[in-house]
Structure formats: C-alpha cells, structure tokens
Structure 1
Amino acid sequence: MVPVTRGALGQIWKLSGDGRSWAVKELLFGCDAAQVAREAALRDSAADLGIASPRLHPARHGVHVTRVDSPGGGSWVKLYDWIDGAEADPSDPAVLDWFGRTMALLHRAGAGAVEGPGAWYERCPDDAAWEDVLKKVRDAGLAWADELDRFVATSVPRLGRWVAPSAPGGLVTSHRDLRPQNVLVGRDGPVLLDWDNAGPVSAEREFARAVHVWSGGNDVDVASVRRLARAYREAGGRAVLTGPESFSMLFATALNYVHVQAETAVNPEVTTEQRDFGARQAVICMREVPGLGAVSRLVTALGT
C-alpha cells in the first residue's frame, strides 16, 4: 500500500495485490457514518443512471466504512475500486458536454429533497470567528497573517453579503463538490469521484458553482460556460442563474474553507503535516477566492 494524494478530508492510498488495485481513503478528521451512507446511496443511484464512479465496497454487516485500529490510535477507512485515468481537462468540449449532462441527470434524479443544506453551504463565519482565527495566526507568527488580515477586511464582507439560506423549493440531493479535480478520464471515458459530500443542495446554487469552477474560475471562458450550460439544458437540467445571489454556495464554501484551513494551521491537536497542509491551503484559497466580476460575466454570458 502506497500513499497517492492528500485531500481536505483524507489521505488516499493505493492498495495492490493479486493483480488488482483498490483506493483506500483514510479519513483524517473522524467519520460521520450517516454521511457515508448517503454517499453510498447516491453513488449507487447515479450508477443506475449510467454515471460512472468508483464502487464503494461494503464491509462486513453492509456498512461502507471500517475502523482500522493501530497503536497510534487507528483510522476510519473506505475502500473503492481503483480508477486509472488523467484529471479532466475543463477546456475539452467532450468533457464539458459529459459534465453538463451528468449534472442534469443528478439534478433530475435528486429532485424533491426536503431537508435543507447544512451550514457549510448556507452560512459563513461571523466577525467574531474571523477575529479569533486571525489572532491565533498572528500569535503563532505565521508569515501570512497580514494577508489573512486583508482578506478578512475585504473579501469576507464583499462575498459574505451574498450568503443566505436557500429557498425551500428547488432543492435536490446531489454530489455537492462537482469540480474538474473530482473527475478522471480513463479508457472508458470520464468517471466522477469523491462523493463524500453528497446531500441536499439548491440546484441553482450547485449549477452556479459548477459553471464557475468549470469555466476557468475568475478567468471566465465564455465559450466553455455556454457549452456546459447547453449540455445541461439539453439533458433536462432546469437551474438558471439570476445574479450574485445564485452564487451563495460558491461564496460560502470558499470562505468556510479558508477559515477551516486557517484554524487547522494553528491547531495544536493535529499533526504537523495537517497544520502545514492547512497553512498551504489557506494561502492558496485566499488568493483564488471567487470574484464578483467573474460572477457578473457568468450571469451575462448565460443571459445572452
């Protein structure tokens, strides 16, 4: 078993033997068994629609997560089929067509969700929370403290004003992390990975976040935006953008991610590796935070 890559929630290992390979996801921050069950259910439903994804193997007694004990305390792990492939190229027209259709299928299949999205997608840290983490970063003497201070003074209020709870209608059960990094293109075509965040979400807001991250982020590629949206519509997707308010989920998740990673960077109860990862991620994401100018260009592009 060899380490492959590290994500925000876990370490991916490649387990090989007897001519076969599997992906083992080690959960670094504990396990929510109910969330894993939602992940497995949505992944299986998507497979029935023809959406390719790695199989999440059940352990004994049918559960999809297992505790592996060790002298160091042990970990929760999940076991998936191993997928060989390259990360999706969001500039590839065929990949954009596939993704637009796939998102529409997910939204159609998951229509009618009743439970509202969690706080990660609907709210962002308040002023007191930002001041608290900023003080911790300063006290720790981290080099990016001034950059975090500027971020809190500018980007946080500018984006945070658009973050609000979703309206009751238009909720779906979906993937909630539809990024090019979560798609591998293998011999048989694209495969959708990382269903860990599956749950209820506003279709409009997931669509808005997706068109932003799949069309170049703040460097908007209008042709990509329109191609993705056209494939989504032709496959029955109904979400539309109305303005900056459609991007509430994009702004909320971006701000929450910076806050969580900054907190991790100064948390004495996690490993040095986890603190270093948090620091790197906080700085990267502060510099790549979504801009209102890009959002305006997306709305204009799809409105015309």
Structure 2
Amino acid sequence: MDLSHLGTPVGPMTRIHGGYANRMYRLDTDRGAFAVKELNLHDRRIPYRAGDVFRFERAAFAAGIPMPEPIEAGDGILVHRWVDGDKVPEEPVTAGYAYEIGEILARLHRLDVPWRSGEDEEPVARDWAGLAERATATGQPWAGELTEQVGTFLAIAEFVGTCERPGPVVLTHRDIQPWNLLASAGRPVVLDWELSGLLDLSGELGSTALSLSKGPGFDDIRPAVFRAVLDGYAAGGGTLPVAGPSWFAFMIGGWLGHVRWNVVRCLHGVEAGTGPELPLSQEAVRGGVQGLPVLFGRIPELTETLLR
C-alpha cells in the first residue's frame, strides 16, 4: 500500500493485533501518527459502503463526536488519525461513562447525512444443521456443542427474522461495544465505524446498553449502567422507543451472523489473508456456541428487568 502522502515514516509500520474482522496497523510519520486499517473485503458478511461510511464519519467528526479524525478511505484501506487512550475492558463501565455514550448516540442520530438505500443487515442464516455436520466431519473442537444447539440456533434465527421492530430507523454506528471504545481521560472515544448504517433505534440502544452493562457473560449485568445509557440518550434530546424484545434482536442477530462467519472460516481450515487469524475465529465460535443460547434464553427476563 502506498501511504507516502501521509509523510515520511519515522519507523516501521507496526501491526496492532486483536481485530475481529479487519487488520490494523500504526504508522508514525513526520506528520503524526495514523491508524491504517486493511479492510477484509474477501468474505465480508455485508457489502462495505466505503463512500457512505466515510461521509458519515466526517459529519460525525465535524459535529464534535469524540472519535479519531477520518483521513481517507479507498482501495480497501481506511486511515484515521491515531488517538491514544485506555482500552475499555469487557466489564460493566461506570454509570457516568454509559451516560456519555447515550448522549453521543442522541447527537449522532440528529445528523442529517445522505445514505443510499440498500440492505444494511445480512440475511438470517438457517443452515446450522449442515454446518454442524461439516464441523463433525472436519473434527472441529466445538462440533459436539454446535450439534447439540442446532435447534436453539434455528429458534434464534426465527426470532431475529420475525421480531417486530417498533422504529424509528436511524443512521448510526451499529457496533458500540467495549472493544470499539477507548477511554481518554475517562471519557469515551468511539472507534471502528465500518458497520455504520440504518438500524431500528431499539436495536441500537439495546445492543449498546447491554454490552456496556455486563462482563464477558451474562452473570453480572448492572441495570443501573444499562439505564444510564438510556438516561443519557433522553438527556441528549433522544426519544426512547417502546420496550420489548426488539431491543435485543439486533444484538443476538449480529452475534449469530458473526458466529456463522467464523464457523465457515474454521471449516475451510486455511487462514485467510485478511480478517481475524484462525485461532481468533475458533475462539469466536466457541464463545458463540456457549453464549448465544444463554442470551436467547434470557431475553424475556432482560426485557422485564432492564426495560421496566
């Protein structure tokens, strides 16, 4: 990749490991530090709208949303100004941090940015029985667990495909999770905008609030943190949608698609040139096979306790 227009390098470009979908590098030049992301365009789950997303990012940055400055997008490469900050661990954040995220979402949803019509969500997959058979035939370490959960995964797919969304539909980030956030002086910085697009508001708020209010599993969910996201959203001028299971449909549907994508990568048995390394895909599948049934089983409880 030719990045000479970013300045004269003052050291080698270094790989930043840990990405779930793409590959990240840091480049330091005489013009500053840059985050260079190599997009996985080989087997993306939905087409990447580089121009639309970049325009949305530029509008968000201009509006003062705390985020890295977007520099350029094209040819499978994204460049942002590097931002230093602390990683946000996968555990409940403080109520103050959650409140700020809610305010950020309210500001984001007020932006008037053109967006081309088209599909922003992937079709719900229902081929779990065949995937389980292939996993068994290829000796995947989680094949038995997946086989046992085929019925549950089909029920999840049915729920995601039929759950009524109350609206409104908003243009938004769609993936505010702990691993897509930094804390700079204790305040949020929103990273990784590639999945931006149109989404039912309840799905965005439910996914964001739940991810920030829990740890890696579902044994430690802090209702006060969940509610702080919603309070911040309302304080920022947003109107909360009606309570219901739709608040969790997008999160569980996105996780379902992510697990399937990694299952297919593991079945191929060959590490692709882009995207996550094979061990990370194996980890994602095992986590989903164990965690998705738990989340699905708790949707009625979460709806009652978090949205009352």
Secondary structure of 2:188's aligned partner: strand
TM-score scaled by length of structure 2: 0.82
Q: How does 1:166-185 map to 2 (within 5 A)?
A: 169-185=167-183
Please tell me whether the aligned partners of residues 95 and 224 of structure 2 are also in contact (alpha carbons under 8 angstroms).
no
Is 1:279 aligned to 2:293, yes or no? no
Match of 1:192 in 2: 190
User: Does 2:99 correspond to 1:97?
Assistant: yes
Distance 2:269 2:181 in 1: 34
Report the secondary structure of 1:223's partner residue: helix
Match of 2:86?
A: 86
The Cα shift of 1:279 comes to: 1.6
Residues 225-275 of structure 1: per-residue CA shift (max 9 Å, x gap): 122211111112223243223322112111111111000111256439733
| Consecutive unaligned residues in structure 2, runs of 5 or more | 1-12
Contact 2:52 2:116 in 1 (8 A): no
The 5 Å alignment of 1:8-87 reads: 8-18=20-30, 20-30=32-42, 35-58=49-72, 64-66=73-75, 76-87=76-87
Q: 2:3 maps to which residue? A: none
Shift of 1:198: 0.9
**Residue 14 (structure 2) aligns with:** 2
Residue in 2 aligned with 1:252? 253
CA distance in 2, matches of 1:295, 1:49: 35
Aligned equivalent of 1:300 = 304
Aligned partner of 1:125: which letter? A
Distance of 1:158 and 1:93 partners within structure 2: 34
Contact 2:56 2:113 in 1 (8 A): no
Tell me, yes or no, if structure 1 residue 162 matches structure 2 residue 159. Answer: yes
Per-residue CA deviation, residues 187-239 of structure 1 (Å, 9 max, x unaligned), is: 48321100001111111111111122111162321111122211111112223
1:134 aligns with 2:132: yes
- Distance (Å, rounded) in 1 between the aligned partners of 2:88 and 2:169: 27
Q: State the Cα distance separating 1:26 from its structure 2 match.
A: 1.3
CA offset digits 1:62-103 (Å, max 9, x no partner)? xx123xxxxxxxxx3221111111123642122111101011
In 2 relative to 1, CA 292–168 (structure 1 residues): closer, same or farther, beyond 3 Å?
closer
Partner amino acid, structure 1, of 2:56? L
Superposed displacement of residue 116, structure 1:
6.0
Aligned-partner SS, 2:149: helix
Q: Which runs of 4+ in 1 moved over 4 A?
A: 31-34, 110-114, 165-169
Query: Aligned partners of 2:179 and 2:299: how far apart in 1?
Result: 21
How big is the shift at 1:160? 2.4
Query: Are the equivalent residues in 2 in contact too, given 1:208–1:241 (CA < 8 A)?
Result: no
Could you list the runs of 5+ residues in structure 1 that have no partner in the other structure? 59-63, 67-75
RMSD between aligned residues: 2.8
The worse-fitting range, judged by mean Cα deviation, of 107-116 and 255-264 is 107-116
Instruction: Give me the whole-angstrom Cα distance separating, in 2, the residues matched to 1:297 and 1:214.
Output: 18
2:303 is matched by which residue type in structure 1?
A: V
Question: Which whole-Å CA distance do the structure 2 matches of 1:110 and 1:176 have between them?
Answer: 17
Q: Give me the whole-angstrom Cα distance separating, in 2, the residues matched to 1:221 and 1:179.
A: 16
CA contact (8 A) 1:226 1:301 kept: no
Counterpart amino acid of residue 85 in structure 2: G
Contact conserved, 2:54 with 2:70, CA < 8 A, in 1? yes
Percent identity over the alignment?
22
Give the count of matched residue pairs: 285
